[in-house]
Amino acid sequence: MRASRVAAGYGAKVAIAEPGRFGGTCVNVGCIPKKLFSYAAHWREDFHLAAAYGWTSGEPRFDWPTLLRNKDREIARLNGVYERVLVDAGVEIHRGRAEILDGNSVRVNGRAHSAKHILVATGSWPQLPAIPGIEHAITSNEAFALERLPRRAVVVGGGYIALEFASIFHGLGVETTLSYRGKRLLRGFDAELGTRIAEEMSAKGVGIAFGCEPAALRKRDSIEIEFTDGRIAQTDLVMFATGRRPNTAQLGLESAGVKLGADGAVIVDRYSASSIPSIHAVGDVTNRVNLTPVATAEAMWLARTLFRGEPTAVDHDMVPTTVFANPNLATVGLSEEKARERFGAIDVYKTSFRALKLTLGDNPERTFMKLVVDPASQRVVGAHMIGADAGEIIQGVAIAVKLGATKAQFDATIGIHPTAAEEFVTMRDKAA
């Protein structure tokens, strides 16, 4: 989407092949519907807290079909917007799946087309493990279109998708268990974030089972799960969020000479060029940093390189990200562990507190913040948060971290009181 529109804006003649709906994973079965579901799941706590502020109302009741219907309407609207944007930019649309014939030609709907440059931006697809009865499980793709909400659900995985859907199901009233084979959630994030988010989710009522995963599924009146630790459990829905695989199968890439990784990812250089110079790839299909804003940035950098005469390398340094679990989690820069590997000794500042909004009620949730500082330069090289609107807050902090702000510059910034965000500029004491 972004590469086509920006390249056309630079004067390139552009065609796009798409067999499905416009917007990719993010718009159709990713960021957008997931965030809408996340909003829906938070209302239960908000209704409960409202009573402490003097509001009274009837017993809240959730209607799943209403959420689905309204979500589908919004996604359809976005699909139309994206298509109009392409048309208005002069992009030629081909409704069909493309197959690469060689470095300068593709086939769509039986017709060959030639091009000076070919871009592969086909994203990724959820993976399912090869265990008996796996046909009874779903992935995040199907979770957005369930006919009815289950009474019980088991979500398998320890990454951000697993945490988000466990929070969504639980918030909508489903008895939810998160099953993860590891010992700590969110591998690759700051370790303390993984530990603390598990504690917060557990306190809200999500069951978390570490060190195990389903070994087999059997469909009876419900779904029977046999876990790797020997336990047997009954549930109504099993969702696997155990990784995604780049969408490169049967695209003709290998026969065209494009080198792929063991996971099927297109191997590219810092300018997103594959082993065939005329074929490029951006986004999840390259399995670099699999986030929508990163994919769109890679697309703009590529368009600038190819059609504006300004070679622009991909910049994956200090990419902020968020996990829309309950509570939210967001981060930018280095984890404490990665910073120690890079700098040796580091300074760490952190705080944990109960947000002002919650003090009139009985919600024990605690907001957590951490700054990681390189002691030699005093630059803040990592900022991490768990708490309400963490993504909104870290986006602003990410600007300072990206620009190389020092801890003294954070300290010199006046906080906005009373907010949670002000804690990022009031932390003075180093953690022991």
Residues 147 and 188 placed together within one structural domain of the fold: yes
Residues 110 and 256 placed together within one structural domain of the fold: yes
- Percent of the chain at pLDDT above 90? 99
Catalytic member of 42, 94, 117, 417: 417
Residues 282 and 260 placed together within one structural domain of the fold: yes
Q: Determine, yes or no, domain membership for 431.
A: no
Euclidean distance between CA atoms 26 and 48, whole angstroms: 31
Residues 112 and 154 placed together within one structural domain of the fold: no
Residue 432 has pLDDT above 90, yes or no: no
Q: Determine, yes or no, domain membership for 416.
A: yes
Residues 231 and 257 placed together within one structural domain of the fold: no
Cis peptide before 327 (omega within 30 of 0): yes
Which domain CATH number covers 389? Answer: 3.30.390.30
Residues 9 and 88 placed together within one structural domain of the fold: yes
* pLDDT score of 23: 95
Section 356-379 average pLDDT: 98
Q: Determine, yes or no, domain membership for 113.
A: yes
pLDDT tens for 117-165 read: 999 999 999 999 999 999 999 999 999 999 999 999 999 999 999 999 9
Site of tokens 């706590």: 45
Section 97-106 average pLDDT: 98
Q: Determine, yes or no, domain membership for 316.
A: no
Q: Determine, yes or no, domain membership for 415.
A: yes
Q: How far is CA 171 from CA 43, 149, 204, 206, in A?
A: 8, 12, 9, 9
Residue 361 has pLDDT above 80, yes or no: yes
Domain end call among 279, 307, 335:
307
Task: Please state the domain count of the chain.
Answer: 3
Domain holding 99, by residue range, is: 2-123+245-307
Residue 53 has pLDDT above 80, yes or no: yes
Residues 249 and 118 placed together within one structural domain of the fold: yes
pLDDT tens for 202-261 read: 999 999 999 999 999 999 999 999 999 999 999 999 999 999 999 999 999 999 999 999
Domain end call among 207, 242, 277:
242
For residue 333, name the pLDDT band (cuts at 50, 70, 90).
very high
Q: Determine, yes or no, domain membership for 301.
A: yes
Residues 367 and 387 placed together within one structural domain of the fold: yes
Which domain CATH number covers 170? Answer: 3.50.50.60
Q: Which long-range contacts (CB under 8 A, 24 or more apart) does 391-400 make?
A: 391/322, 391/324, 391/328, 391/330, 393/330, 393/420, 393/421, 393/424, 394/320, 394/322, 394/330, 394/331, 394/332, 395/320, 395/330, 396/421, 397/320, 397/332, 397/424, 398/318, 398/320, 398/332, 398/333
Active site residue 113: no
Domain end call among 226, 242, 258:
242
For residue 17, name the pLDDT band (cuts at 50, 70, 90).
very high
Residues 118 and 26 placed together within one structural domain of the fold: yes
Token output for 279: 């074929």
Section 336-364 average pLDDT: 98
* pLDDT score of 57: 85
Euclidean distance between CA atoms 169 and 54, whole angstroms: 28
